[in-house]
């Protein structure tokens, strides 16, 4: 049950000129389930991405990074993205690279492009060989079904333990030109992205120069997917891809161009929506928490403290129980690794309730006020460090019985 996350409405997801989407039910893990996705791009498209920093980064991640780099110099742009669910193709060594490459070769042949113009992505179980033959067998069905108005199906096709698809569209006017953007994301466990989330794709129909897009994707990821955590487990397959199809009228060639900031903010807002949707649908989630750490000496220390709170199993179970056992938050702040933190200046708020004042219990704090906030489905934890002007926000969910059930049963 996702927290305050209504199902996307298919008719409200806007096609992005320059992107066509097809899918297949290839039977990779379970029958009768969309598990292969092809996103075909216009030749005018630029693509940029950020990927997991996990040292066990999956074979498709390694290949996608290589193909993105090659596209920048070869003059042959990325032509399609290929995603499979049901198998992560991670922890699979040389064989994994070879199998991922086979799928690229097969799709490239059917689209009449080079294999290096295909970006592969996988999500699912780690340490098991990719059933490449099944992926390849699904490609004709996916290609036959390619169409622009297919984003809802795309969101469904990348789901694993997600309970609902995650997708959103925006139309913004920038420099007098209308820009349409649509994105999808997936992920519910093994979520503590480090440069990106499990899988996120966002396409827009402006023309954006490659260096600008590279900058834009980093900015958007740092303010969205890199601010969420469900269980602190950074995946082997995290990838967030930003596609500018070039099919629209807006063209951005430099980050100095006034329109850049507007596009950046719009892309970041949609990215944050998609990232939050992952937390709202976190495995077993019953609560959505925004953890805001303010008045820090640096963004880095604010993030350390916010993640320390967001990862604490004790904090997360207290939220699950709606129990204002808020000393657990202080403990998590204390072990966050900010070695010179003066806790005697620290203040803690739960929504509008001032819980801890100058490092101790606020004399005016009443248990029933904490209780009132803890019962809500959405809660803001605000920590004021009194050390400076930096701030950071992390989004997370609670730790429930269902998290244990889902992850104890995931493969069975």
Return the structure tokens found at 340. 């010179």
Q: List beta partners, residue 40.
A: 20, 80
Specify which residues 123 forms β-bridges with. 85, 87
CB-based contact 357:265 (threshold 8 Å): no
- Is 104 exposed, middle or buried (CB count within 10 Å of its CB: 0-12, 13-18, 19+)? buried
> Closest separation between CB of residue 227 and its own copies, Å?
17
Nearer to its own copies, 233 or 259 (CB): 233
Minimum distance from CB of 304 to its own copies (Å)? 12
By CB neighbour count within 10 A (0-12 exposed, 13-18 middle, 19+ buried), where does 37 fall? buried
What is the three-state SS of 181-198? EEEEEECCCCCCCCCCCC
- 103 a catalytic residue: no
Nearer to its own copies, 92 or 150 (CB): 92
Tell me how far, at minimum, the Cβ of 1 lies from its own copies, in Å. Answer: 16
Geometric angle at alpha carbon 278, from 255 and 103, rounded to 5°: 80
Q: At what angle do helices 132-144 and 93-111 cross, to 10 degrees?
A: 20
Please identify, using beta-carbon distances, which residue of 73 and 412 lies nearer to its own copies.
412
Query: What's the CA angle centered on 166, arms 160 and 168, to 5 degrees?
Result: 155
* Cβ at position 231, least distance to its own copies in Å: 4
Catalytic residue of the set 92, 197, 236, 286: 197
Nearer to its own copies, 264 or 316 (CB): 316
Q: Is 259 exposed, middle or buried (0-12, 13-18, 19+ CB in 10 A)?
A: middle
**Both tokens assigned to 147:** 């169409």
Residue 359 has, within 13 A of its CA and on its CB side, a CA count of: 7
- Nearest 5°: CA angle at 256, between 253 and 258? 90
* Element at 145 (helix H, strand E): none
Contact present, 395 and 279 (Cβ < 8 Å) = yes
The DSSP call for residue 147 is: B
153 versus 396: smaller Cβ distance to its own copies? 396
Q: From 45, 15, 17, select the one nearest 113 (Cα to Cα).
A: 45
Of residues 101 and 312, the one with the C-beta less far from its own copies: 312
Toward its own copies, which CB reaches closer, 10 or 125? 125
Nearest approach, Cβ of residue 89 and its own copies (Å): 10
Task: Please report, in angstroms and rounded to a whole number, the separation of the first and last CA atoms in the chain.
Answer: 21
User: How far apart are CB 269 and its own copies at their closest, in Å?
Assistant: 28
Smallest distance, its own copies to C-beta of residue 271, A: 22
Active site residues: 197
């Amino acid at each position: 049950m996702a927290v305050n996350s209504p199902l996307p409405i298919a008719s409200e997801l806007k096609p992005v000129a320059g992107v066509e989407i097809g899918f297949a039910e290839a039977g990779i893990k379970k029958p009768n389930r969309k598990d292969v996705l092809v996103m075909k791009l216009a030749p005018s498209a630029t693509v940029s991405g950020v990927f997991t920093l996990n040292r066990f980064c999956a074979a498709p991640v390694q290949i996608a990074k290589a193909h993105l780099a090659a596209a920048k110099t070869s003059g042959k742009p990325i032509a399609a993205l290929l995603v499979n669910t049901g198998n992560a193709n991670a922890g699979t060594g040389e064989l994994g690279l070879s199998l991922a490459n086979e799928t690229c070769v097969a799709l490239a042949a059917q689209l009449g492009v080079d294999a290096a113009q295909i970006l592969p992505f996988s999500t699912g179980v780690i340490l098991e060989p990719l059933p490449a033959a099944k992926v390849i067998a699904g490609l004709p069905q996916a290609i036959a079904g390619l169409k622009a108005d297919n984003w809802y199906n795309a969101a469904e096709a990348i789901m694993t333990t997600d309970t609902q698809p995650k997708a959103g569209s925006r139309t913004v006017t920038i420099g007098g030109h209308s820009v349409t953007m649509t994105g999808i994301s997936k992920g519910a466990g093994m979520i503590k992205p480090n440069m990106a989330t499990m899988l996120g794709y966002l396409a827009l129909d402006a023309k954006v120069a490659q260096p600008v897009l590279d900058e834009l994707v980093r900015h958007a990821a740092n303010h969205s997917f890199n601010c969420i955590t469900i269980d602190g487990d950074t995946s082997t397959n995290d990838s967030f891809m930003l596609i500018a199809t070039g099919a629209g009228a807006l063209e951005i060639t430099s980050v100095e161009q006034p329109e850049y900031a507007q596009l950046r903010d719009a892309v970041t807002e949609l990215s944050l929506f998609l990232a939050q949707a992952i937390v709202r649908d976190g495995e077993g989630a019953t609560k959505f928490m925004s953890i805001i750490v303010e008045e820090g000496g640096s963004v880095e220390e604010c993030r350390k403290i916010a993640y320390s709170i967001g990862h604490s199993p004790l904090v997360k179970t207290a939220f699950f129980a709606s129990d204002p056992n808020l000393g657990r938050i202080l403990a998590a702040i204390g072990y966050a690794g900010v070695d010179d933190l003066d806790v005697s200046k620290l203040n803690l708020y739960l929504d509008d309730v001032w819980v801890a004042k100058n490092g101790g219990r606020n004399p005016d704090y009443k248990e029933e006020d904490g209780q009132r906030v803890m019962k809500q489905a959405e809660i803001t934890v605000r920590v004021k460090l009194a050390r400076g002007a930096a701030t950071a926000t992390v989004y997370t969910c609670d730790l429930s019985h269902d998290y244990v059930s889902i992850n104890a049963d995931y493969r069975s």
